[in-house]
Structure 1
Amino acid sequence: MTFNTLEDAAKFYKNYAKAASFSTRVRSTNKKRNVIKNQLITCSREGKWKLKISPTEKTNPSAGLNCPARIYIHILKDDGVWIISKVMLHHSHSCCPNQAEMLKQHRKLSMSVRRTIENNEKAGIRPSKTYQSFVAAAGGYRDLNFIEKDVRNYITREVRNILELDDAKEFGKYLLRMKEKNQNFFFELELEDDQSIQLAFWSDARSRAACEYFGDVISFDTTYNTNRYNLVCGSFVRVNHHGQSTLLGCALMKNEDIQSFIWLFQCWLRCMGGKAPKGILTDQCASMQRAIEACMPTTIHCWCIWHIMKKILGKINGFKGHIKIEQERSHVV
């Protein structure tokens, strides 16, 4: 068989795989001068491999069964067309045509299904409820060519990525609403040119009141990162008279440079009436240290013992007697 393009040949074999109830994958592609010359497409169960998760821990374990089914496609130099030169149709595993549409490669969401998912997500309907509505409309699970995981993946990869462009504006509106509810709520927000968050700081009325009583020594920590937006999350914490940690303020930062920390500590001082703490505990960050010296020169800056102890193991592992040193250190602590 001949095809005008490599994509047409791969699409033909994919349609055949759906009819025969198996999925495919590109095993190898050979190029010459950055131009594809031939390609090997095999059954997805080709090769000898096994998941690290044991069958007892995974409800649907899968493994490579060294399946020989494959096609070999190459281009003819003279005609410029693609030809299937080698074919192997036999499989080392059983195929179930009734379940072909539920294989990952063949599952798909139609345009109408995608539009319904987008509308339900905007309305705040949970993905599980959205999927159940499709099941009810189709008359059963077997009449759908997608599963609930496909709905969740589409929301994560497509819908929420589109909405992220407006998330910074919505975050600013939320802070304004909090300010309207309580005038003692404090916040400052700076956005990039693309309307993404660069710097943000906020503290509610309860936190500001707690700082007046327990703000003589505070701890500032930036060891947390947000997963979706890749922003550093910082927190100001103080221990109250009951020995409990009390949150005094939060911050989001795009960069951990000196100017960002200076902006943040200046916001902290404005929020707390210009009263600098007597002492502050932080990580061993040079940028943070220089910002504290510039904004709060009278504040005693100390390194947090938790960060120090966490880094000691990596520092002493190079010594021959690191085990003995670690034992002596544990007795000291």
Structure 2
Amino acid sequence: MKDIGLWTIFKVVLNHSHPCCPDHTEMLKQHRELSMFVRRTIETHEKIGIKPSKTYQSFVAAAGSHRELEISEEDDAKEFGKYLVREKNQNFFFELNLEGDHYIKHALWADARSRAAFDYFGDVVSFDTTYNTNRYNFVLCSFVGVNHHGQSTLLGCTLIKNEDIQSFKWLFECWLRCMGGKAPKGILTDQCTSIQRAIELCMPTTIHRWCIWHIMKKIPSKLNGYKGHIHIEQEMSHVVWNSHTKDEFDRNWNDFLTKYGLGGNKWLSGN
């Protein structure tokens, strides 16, 4: 009878088709209802500015463990999506890439102000991946430009689960869609091979350079094995920050390497 849109039930089997696992009962919908106390606590914490992660941890502490808690973190992806959808400005942009129906794999969003700022200040962009979130273990990335007052201006934010080529490729393709397909003339990033390869694939005309801040902060860990490394670090910083032309830098850099016998240092001599 399905040809006319109707079905006839001939037999009902109420037994489960597979054994139930007690360790996963918290995943059942009936075990994930929010009590009135929990709802009011969440509302109160939100009003006084307590972060959702702190609220969740307080419930975990009270229940004794995550497994005893009648709240599933699998709904976080849906709630995050609902939060983004609630943005009323039609120029707000976001995309989510989910694993199944529950887990966020990648996310990108940019408000109307960020998208407008890119039109004016998107020639050279810094892409920063140095921030890591809490136990969710996401990397928080940001696209940042510099406005006409020399101030940093946010051009978009992302969350990624894995720092591999495919993740960054998804991210850059998504961000370019957000910005109307316009790639920046230059981009500054950390020394990451996956980022470099993704930029080559997605923005082949963009000039890619390593961020000097990321490079300089690695100096102590790279040179602390050398005798008198503090003085070496100071002189290296002087060469980097006080060489005003390419020729001047090349000359000072070579003198620096020769003076301290650093020609064989792979980090300093690498491209």
Decide: shared fold, TM above 0.5. Answer: yes
Choose from 161, 165, 175 the match for 1:268. Answer: 175
* 1:245 to partner: Cα distance: 0.8
Q: CA-to-partner distance for each residue in 1:133-172, whole Å, 9 max, x for gaps? A: xxxxxxxxxxxxxxxx987722795487834111100111
Do structure 1's residue 168 and structure 2's residue 85 form an aligned pair? no
User: What's the counterpart of residue 97 of structure 1?
Assistant: none
Q: Which letter maps to 2:122?
A: G
Q: Secondary structure at the match of 2:220?
A: helix
How much is the aligned-residue C-alpha RMSD, in angstroms? 2.5
2:61 paired with 1:153: yes
Partner of 2:161: 254
Question: Is residue 2:97 matched to residue 1:197?
Answer: no
What is the CA distance between 1:121 and its match in structure 2? 2.7
Native 8 Å contact 2:185 2:207 kept in 1: yes
Match of 2:212 among 301, 305, 308: 305
**Structure 1 segment 1-333 matched on structure 2, within 5 A:** 119-123=36-40, 124-126=42-44, 153-154=61-62, 157-158=65-66, 162-178=71-87, 181-193=88-100, 195-332=102-239, 333=241
Cα contact 2:128–2:141 (8 A) shared by 1: yes
> Does the 8 Å CA contact 2:60/2:69 hold for their aligned counterparts?
no
Greater RCO between the two (CA within 8 Å, min separation 6)? 2
Percent same amino acid among aligned pairs? 70
What is the alpha-carbon distance in structure 2 between the residues aligned to residue 165 and residue 253 of structure 1? 17
1:25-70, Cα deviation, whole Å (9 max, x unpaired): xxxxxxxxxxxxxxxxxxxxxxxxxxxxxxxxxxxxxxxxxxxxxx
Larger Rg: 1
8 Å Cα contact 1:118-1:155 kept in structure 2 = no
Counterpart Cα distance in 1 of 2:189 and 2:64: 35
Q: Report the count of equivalent residues.
A: 195
Q: Helix, strand or coil for the counterpart of 2:217?
A: helix
Kept after mapping to 1: 8 A contact 2:76/2:102: no
Q: 1:297 to 1:151 in 2, by over 3 A?
A: closer
> Could you state the TM-score of these two structures normalised by the residue count of structure 2?
0.66
Instruction: Return the alpha-carbon distance in structure 1 between the equivalents of residues 38 and 194 of structure 2.
Output: 41
Q: Normalising by the residue count of structure 1, what TM-score does the alignment of the two structures yield? A: 0.54
